[in-house]
Structure 1
């Protein structure tokens, strides 16, 4: 069995709060589509194209960043410095993107595109690849890794829940409301970042990882022969297609279906509070029932109420109740993603003798970025096809039907496929203690 010293709650909290340090990026993900279409006047088809192209480009930068992190050796660690640099850059750019100058429409599109690339493909890539890499470098204990994932997603959900009230706050702040909101959010992020810097410590990989004499081509061959890496990447892709669709459609759902902007915040509450609770309980019940079995069963109970929302999408109370139930059962799935990535990296090193945790993390980051881009683009393109016009006072009936199907139907379908893809991990979980013991011997830790 893996007998590594367990992490303190302070260390776990510091890692978890790295999610909260990305407040500005979450604001951009949640509101930039609505800001561009309804405030700047950019067509929704152009918005979808910007998001898709930028996120695909973003995926390429993730792989490059993974190689850079694996070759980084500083007194502060391998991934930690990049996490902080990315977070600071993201704070600056995620505020500027909501301050569109009075350019021509072409100028506005170029301005928004450049900043969107900086937010996600440059600075977002730095912190986005570094964060899951830290799971490998902080601990090798599978339960601590699940705890890191649980707490991190709980922190992320709390932030996303609070961001859900951002539309109301931005409106209340008046002119440049989204810009003012981003300044407040990024000020909070800066304080959180200081706490994270002084309480995150990399325990593994400072010297022994990333120094093997192996070509990039040789490593890529072993990487794509790792079935667990491929499965984790696909799961991340589907998870973030779902998230991108939901984030891209929520603004339009509350405005045009519920016809109540205040519902944005209420939806955030029922979407995240139950999930935060179940995510926190996940490490407890995973020891009793097994991590994988718990996640698969909970996924089934997430899909059913989520799909039933389609029956009465304009009934706010009904939707809130169904969403809360689905949210509660979705917690374990969210918590397992980072541990699965770390386990896939360990499996690759165990089989091939090549340790590249950051490149493995970049693979899942590729799935995250491209998935989010595809998801937001899907929402935008479907609405464009049915004739959505952000500057029109009333939308046609086809737009309303499309909003409902996009918001509720696509996430349920994605989760069903993800659940099926988790089944092969049963073998990896059964072998994992043996893998960690062997890797500790190779690293001279036993």
Structure 2
């Protein structure tokens, strides 16, 4: 008989496949700003504002997606049907980087805005929002969920590292024109789309957690849970701040104008591979009683130090690599095990007399993720404009260089300090055991 905390190989790899696909999509979108400013010759400030406006619309679409998924009941399951959106996501990602160079600036802005909105506000929204309900119905125990997130993070990190190293190398030879960008992104989009579909094909919803009930979740239920559950906003805040740093993606500008060439970033991207051993440690540490928020807290402290070091690095690869080890480690628990916070938030809903609404919890976190990415993109564009960045110039001014340095050091360090503060105030993991005992006592009394 299969042990409760074991899972099939096909199920494990199928689950990670879509995570790899989505992770690589985020990496590729990280080059959108430099594509817009240096290839399409658009204003960095205008692009940043457009991306931010697009992200704000996610506040509406995230809640809509949460409502739709929470009320979905099909033969394929609750969350699994929405996995097919990965096809549309990659088509629109390719189209985003296929804007005709001969168009007017106005048409270019409209094209970028529409495609970016389709990618993030529609297709990525459903793919992020279905994550938690899908996971709960695909894996039979908390230990399986911890393993699929921790050990699976190794697979995702390796897959994303390949794209992180290949993309800047290919940029040097292909991203010299608008058509070159289109061909290059297309070369990634086709295989990554196929990989992303494997979760739908290989992972079924086999765990019953609704006890056969199909009661509809109403808007009143959603608002009531959000009003009484402050912890989901803390979890979403962590996600927002982490993705704010990811959304800035200042490394493209830093290595182009300060670090000695974008191809040198490949060395830093390769550092994620040795750090994979950390992913083996997370499940063991959690078995010893160390909570998810404490692991994230420790990582965030490392992030403050690592990003701070970048301010003094210049083109010194030794310092840049030490800093990269610290801030890469800082991001691992947020990227791969922070989803456990959402499961706790869903359980808190049930233990306090609300409906579980795990999709709504996931949607709120997804909103934080995408707002963070949007604000990061906007902050990057606006600050570059404020400091006088000129995409057509071979050499940037001293003010522009200082702006790039701050975007790659001081600002991320301050953001990670805010994550430290949130983690110090997050006490749900201390409260849940008491609520569970109270619930058990109530059942015994009945």
Same fold (TM over 0.5): yes
Matches within 5 A, 1:234-245: 234-245=237-248
Partners in 1 of 2:217 and 2:21 — Cα distance? 35
* TM-score, normalised relative to structure 2: 0.89
Question: Secondary structure of the equivalent of 1:21?
Answer: helix
* 2:177 is aligned with 1:172: no
1:408 alignment partner in structure 2: 409
Answer yes or no: is 1:229 the counterpart of 2:232: yes
List aligned pairs for 1:30-429, cutoff 5 A: 30-82=30-82, 84-101=83-100, 102-139=102-139, 141-164=141-164, 165-173=166-174, 175=177, 176-204=179-207, 208=211, 211-212=214-215, 215-245=218-248, 247=249, 249-270=250-271, 272-288=272-288, 290-292=290-292, 293-429=294-430
Contact kept in structure 1, 2:225 and 2:354, CA below 8 Å: no
Q: 1:410 to 1:208 in 2, by over 3 A?
A: farther
- Please list the CA deviations of residues 120-145 of structure 1 after superposition, one character each: whole Å capped at 9, or x if unmatched: 11111121211233233334633332
Distance in 1 (CA, whole Å) between partners of 2:146 and 2:92 is: 32
User: Which piece of structure 1 moves more, 133-142 or 278-287?
Assistant: 133-142
For 1:214 and 1:286, the matched residues in 2 are separated by 33
Whether the 8 Å contact between 2:348 and 2:432 is mirrored in structure 1 is no
Residues 123/333 of structure 1: CA separation in 2 closer, same or farther (3 Å cut)? closer
Once residues 47 and 159 of structure 2 are traced to their aligned partners in structure 1, the CA distance between those partners, rounded to angstroms, is: 25
**Aligned residues of 2:22 and 2:196 also touching (Cα < 8 A):** no
The answer to whether the Cα contact below 8 Å between 1:346 and 1:436 also exists between their aligned partners in 2 is no
Alpha carbon RMSD of aligned pairs, Å? 2.7
Cα distance change of structure 1 residues 315 and 106 upon mapping to structure 2, 3 Å threshold: same
Moved more, 138-147 or 426-435: 426-435
Contact 1:23 1:189 in 2 (8 A): no
Retained in 1: the 8 A contact 2:15–2:199? yes
Give the SS at the match of 1:262: helix
In 2, Cα distance between the equivalents of 1:6 and 1:200?
15
Offset at residue 276 of structure 1 (A)? 2.9
Cα distance 1:34–1:430, how it changes in 2: closer, same or farther (>3 A)?
same
CA shift digits 1:41-85 (9 cap, x unpaired) = 111011101110011112321110011111111121111111x22
Secondary structure of the equivalent of 2:130? helix
Aligned mates of 1:209, 1:297 — CA distance in 2: 41
Q: Return closer, same or farther for 1:287/1:402 CA change in 2, 3 Å cut-off.
A: same
Q: Which runs of 5+ in 1 are unaligned?
A: none
- Contact between 2:291 and 2:429, CA under 8 Å: does it hold in 1? no
Q: How many residues align?
A: 435
Local SS of the residue matching 1:52: helix
User: Partners of 1:433 and 1:126 in 2: how far apart?
Assistant: 34
How far off is 1:9 after superposition?
4.8
TM-score, reference length from structure 1: 0.89
Distance in 2 (alpha carbons) for counterparts of 1:368 and 1:332: 15
**What are the superposed Cα offsets for residues 337-363 of structure 1, whole Å, 9 maximum, x if unpaired?**
111111111211221231211111100
CA contact (8 A) 1:63 1:359 kept: yes
Query: Residues 294 and 112 from structure 1, CA distance in 2 versus in 1: closer, same or farther, beyond 3 angstroms?
Result: closer
2:429 partner SS: helix
Alignment gaps of 5+ in structure 2: none
CA contact (8 A) 1:210 1:355 kept: no
Deviations 1:265-296 (A, max 9, x none): 222222x2244331232112322351343433
